[in-house]
Amino acid sequence: MDPERKKVVEHVAVSTFPDEVLERVLVQLKSHKDRSSVSLVCHSWYDAERFSRTHVFIANCYSVTPEIVSRRFPNIRSVSLKGKPRFSDFNLVPPNWGANIRSWLVMFAAKYPFLEELRLKRMTVTDESLEFLALSFPNFKALSLLSCDGFSTDGLAAIATHCKNLAELDIQENDLNDKSGSWLSCFPENFSSLEVLNFANLSNDVNFEALERLVSRCKSLKVLKVNRNITLEQLPRLLIRAPLLTELGTGSFLQEHPACQYSELENAFNKCMNLNTLSGLSEVTALSLPALYPACANLTFMNLSCAALQSGELAKLLVHCPCLRRLWVLDTVEDKGLEAVGSNCPLLEELRVFPTDPFDEDTFHGVTESGFIAVSYGCRRLSYVLYFCRQMTNAAVATIVQNCPDFTHFRLCIMNPWQPDYQTNEPMDEAFCAVVKSCTKLQRLAVSGLLTDLTFEYIGKYAKNLETLSVAFAGSSDWGMQCVLGGCPKLRKLEIRDCPFGNAALLSGLDKYESMRSLWMSDCKVTMNGCRVLAKEMPRLNVEVIKVDGSNESQADKVYVYRSVAGPRTDAPPFVLTL
Amino acid sequence: MEKSVNYGGHHDDLNLEATELRLGLPGIIRSDIIGYEKQSSSASTVVVVRNNKRASPEGIMTQESSSKSHSYVSDARNGDPDSHHQPPAKAQVVGWPPIRSFRRNSFQQKKTDQGDGAGMYVKVSMDGAPYLRKVDLKVYKSYPELLTALENMFKFTIGEYSEREGYNRSEYAPTYEDKDGDWMLVGDVPWDMFIFSCKRLRIMKGSEARGLGCL
């Protein structure tokens, strides 16, 4: 076939591709990144994609309006929304900042009456909203609230009472008003659809008999995470009624009564053959821990971040967990415990070590660089680390990333600000140089310790895949931030606090911010004028300054910059200035 | 243990403030890193670090304290002239280290449960007494100590405890409410188990008291 004719044939073939077939194909696409790409191909693909999309993920609730979303995607059944900037988790965002779910719910009720799932992170949700949700969507199946605020257990009671088809109720780490545990008793006696129940972070007692009956009725229950008030004696009664459990949050695990009750517990755990995830254990002791061993054979994720285990206890436990891929611990396990991790967990991909006494600098607790090194020798597949410590050296980090070059997430928190390498007294620049040079797949980085602009030069130069960067108490001048903004082609989120970066740094990113999700800078050297210039030059960015009481007029205390097609916020409180 | 380098402490005596390089107007307290010399590997590091916030530490420290239960109060506000040489002391910096509230809450909860520092206060009522009292169970190491303290507090006497008969020879019986909500006789379980499960105390009097002992 001659080339000209071939071209014509190909051209015709593409434009007569039937939409119905295209939509059937596109329905299979789950990843929102893939869907974004598809929608950019051409108009007909854009349309086919938007009709076939059933789940929408909105990473910044102020980047778009409910109206725009509902116009583009008419068939949504599942929504994930994120609201406040991440630093609100650490009290850096004043209360009543915004990200209220209300206006979204009103739109959903009008345009998506068949909504099934809602997953919210860092949003403000009131009891009225929860009740509105419970009453507006007859097919509602899944509610997940992570790091949200504004509601109380009354709202949960409304959900339990009215959502007849609820399969998932996941209440994690929220700042809620825990008035009483009676919400659990609001599930009707004939209600049996629950598959996921997580109330681990609620502090009030629930009625145990009601919980027991609920677990009995819900034959498909796969995930059960109870709060600390459920005792070791009560736990077996739940376990035997939930044979399909794959994820368990155990409550306190405190053994109050003598060992004769222990056998019930052992029996119950012997039958837990399907567990892949274990958490809770907030009061566990060496006595009660062995009861768990039979259930650990298939565990891939163990969250011990509420359990103050000692190194020996952890070591004994890990022997029984050969399949572990993700492990979260408290630093009570110390370096010795981490050595046990290195010895027993060859498949480990993720390690998080949380501090027990983050504010107590006087007594030496916790983990050091040795523990981290030990893990890196034993767990070569490590790709995600979150490590809180009080001392670190450049050499240690270099060794660690040499052993584990596959890091995608490297979050190191040396807890004392501006702390240098404790052996050489030098800045920690070389440590992060090693990280970005060795770990070519690095997507997320959090830096700490004494750092000069050199760290940021390295990051800008080498971190080609970096998407999220968190910086605190670091850098020497504007040049540091300029290097990051000038390099890092895939940068999406930049969050900075207490660094000497000012207007020159802020404005050097003019070309970059529209390709990023957001920028946060608090307690840096940016001024109101700098922010005004940014706002003027880049009208499609929202440039917001949170003013703090008593601060200097010209200082921009907290700056939040994000791209948006929604225009400036209409619901901003008085302390948020939109420039 | 490796203590974090206490820049401020070392330099109090040397008064390097007069000769240090600063990025900004003199007199302003900044949180910059100042004049770092790479060559100097000797003990006298030239890094002098200011650990306070900028001109208005108050503004940054107080605004967070309004609604959250953990407010971080800066020592810098106390007017201590050397305070700006101190490294960040306990709980001085808002939102640092970056740990979410629920984790901080659970540590404090744990400490309260275990009675570290905060004490284990339980209410004590006595039949016939006009008002309740509170005792810190953590203070006592054994039952005799607790019972003596209660005797002094309410001015009465409890007889001897016997496993078989409880406090039968006394007009009073100390009881407690445990985590399950049941009323138990004080003394049956080991002391350590008792202090973890005791939610409140009640000193029963008269026939009701003797009734318990007879069981």
Per-residue pLDDT tens digits of chain A, which is 579 residues long: 565 555 555 554 555 667 778 888 888 888 888 888 888 888 888 888 898 899 999 999 999 999 999 999 999 999 999 999 999 999 999 999 999 999 999 999 999 999 999 999 999 999 999 999 999 999 999 999 999 999 999 999 999 999 999 999 999 888 888 888 899 999 999 999 999 999 999 988 899 999 999 999 999 999 999 999 998 889 999 999 999 999 999 988 887 666 556 788 888 998 888 999 999 998 888 878 888 999 999 999 999 999 989 999 999 999 999 999 999 999 999 999 999 999 999 999 999 999 987 776 655 678 999 999 999 999 999 999 999 999 999 999 999 999 999 999 999 999 999 999 999 999 999 999 999 999 999 999 999 999 999 999 999 999 999 999 999 999 999 999 999 999 999 999 999 999 999 999 999 999 999 999 999 999 999 999 999 999 999 999 999 999 888 778 899 999 999 999 999 999 999 999 998
Radius of gyration of chain B (CA): 28
Which residue in B36, B106, B107 is closest to A452 by CB distance? B36
C-alpha span between A426 and B119 (Å, rounded): 43
User: Rounded to a whole number, what is the distance in Å from the CA of B58 to chain A's nearest CA?
Assistant: 7
Show Cβ contacts of residue A128 under 8 Å, excluding neighbours closer than 6 positions. A102
- How do A493-497 and A518-522 pair as beta strands? parallel
User: Rounded to a whole number, what is the distance in Å from the CA of B102 to chain A's nearest CA?
Assistant: 6
Which residue in B2, B31, B58 is closest to A498 by CB distance? B31
Q: Is B99 on the interface with A (CB under 8 A)?
A: yes
Report the pLDDT value the prediction gives residue A217, as an integer from 0 to 100: 96
**Which A-chain residues 504-533 have CB contacts (< 8 A) with chain B?**
523
Q: Is the pLDDT of residue B77 over 60?
A: no
User: A185 exposed, middle or buried (CB, 10 Å; 0-12, 13-18, 19+)?
Assistant: middle
Which residue in B56, B64, B98 is closest to A552 by CB distance? B56
CB A226 within 8 A of CB A280: yes
C-alpha span between A491 and A469 (Å, rounded): 8
Q: Is A132 on the interface with B (CB under 8 A)?
A: no
Nearest chain A residue (CA) to B59: A550
Count other C-beta atoms under 10 Å from residue A131's C-beta: 18
Q: Is the pLDDT of residue B94 over 50?
A: yes
Structure tokens at A269: 């755990």
Q: Is A552 on the interface with B (CB under 8 A)?
A: yes
User: CA angle, corner B58, sides to B55 and B60, nearest 5?
Assistant: 85
User: CA angle, corner B12, sides to B8 and B15, nearest 5?
Assistant: 115
Nearest chain B residue (CA) to A452: B33
Structure tokens at A201: 């972070």
Inter-chain contact A419–B109, Cβ cutoff 8 Å?
no
Show Cβ contacts of residue A531 under 8 Å, excluding neighbours closer than 6 positions. A506, A543, A545, A556, A559, A579
Q: B30 versus A326: which is more confidently predicted?
A: A326
Nearest chain A residue (CA) to B70: A91
Structure tokens at A48: 């086919």
Q: Residue B56's pLDDT band (boundaries 50, 70, 90)?
A: very low
C-alpha span between A385 and A409 (Å, rounded): 6
Which residue in A228, A358, A476 is closest to B33 by CB distance? A476
Inter-chain contact A91–B49, Cβ cutoff 8 Å?
no
The verdict on whether omega for the bond into residue B87 sits within 30 degrees of 0, i.e. cis, is: no
Q: Is B66 on the interface with A (CB under 8 A)?
A: yes
Q: Return the SS3 of B135.
A: strand
Note the maximum CA span of chain A: 88
pTM of the predicted protein model: 0.76
User: Rounded to a whole number, what is the distance in Å from the CA of A359 to chain B's nearest CA?
Assistant: 5
Contacts of A551 in chain B (CB under 8 A): 56, 59-60
Inter-chain contact B87–A416, Cβ cutoff 8 Å?
yes
Q: Residue B155's pLDDT band (boundaries 50, 70, 90)?
A: confident
**Whole-Å CA distances, A303 to A181, A277, A337, A396, A419:** 24, 8, 15, 26, 29
Inter-chain contact A551–B60, Cβ cutoff 8 Å?
yes
**Which B-chain residues 125-164 have CB contacts (< 8 A) with chain A?**
none
Count other C-beta atoms under 10 Å from residue A206's C-beta: 21
Contacts of B62 in chain A (CB under 8 A): 549-550
Inter-chain contact A357–B56, Cβ cutoff 8 Å?
no
User: Rounded to a whole number, what is the distance in Å from the CA of B45 to chain A's nearest CA?
Assistant: 8
Inter-chain contact B99–A358, Cβ cutoff 8 Å?
yes
Mean pLDDT of chain B: 61
C-alpha span between B209 and B215 (Å, rounded): 11
C-alpha span between A521 and A496 (Å, rounded): 5
Nearest chain B residue (CA) to A420: B5
Structure tokens at B181: 């909500």
User: A237 exposed, middle or buried (CB, 10 Å; 0-12, 13-18, 19+)?
Assistant: middle
Q: Return the SS3 of A435.
A: helix
Q: Is B47 on the interface with A (CB under 8 A)?
A: yes
Nearest chain A residue (CA) to B103: A306
Contacts of B179 in chain A (CB under 8 A): 231, 256
Contacts of B96 in chain A (CB under 8 A): 90, 417, 472
Inter-chain contact B54–A390, Cβ cutoff 8 Å?
no
**Which A-chain residues 156-195 have CB contacts (< 8 A) with chain B?**
173-175
C-alpha span between B75 and B200 (Å, rounded): 38
CB A432 within 8 A of CB A471: no
* Amino acid residing at A124: T
pLDDT in tens, B190-201: 887 888 888 889
CB A217 within 8 A of CB A241: no
Inter-chain contact A357–B107, Cβ cutoff 8 Å?
yes
Contacts of A90 in chain B (CB under 8 A): 94-96, 98-100
Contacts for A504-508: CB closer than 8 Å, 24+ residues apart: A504/A478, A505/A478, A505/A479, A505/A480, A505/A481, A506/A481, A506/A530, A506/A531, A506/A534, A506/A559, A507/A533, A507/A534, A507/A537, A508/A478, A508/A481, A508/A482
Residue A164's Cβ-side half-sphere holds a number of Cα atoms within 13 Å equal to 6
Which residue in B36, B97, B196 is closest to A358 by CB distance? B97
Residues in chain A: 579
Distance of CA A328 to the CA centre of its chain: 14
Give start and end residues of each alpha helix (H) in A16-143. Answer: 19-26, 32-39, 43-52, 66-72, 102-111, 127-136
**Which B-chain residues 102-131 have CB contacts (< 8 A) with chain A?**
102-104, 106-107, 109-110, 113
C-alpha span between A382 and A384 (Å, rounded): 6
Inter-chain contact A359–B53, Cβ cutoff 8 Å?
no
* Start-to-end CA span in chain B (Å): 56
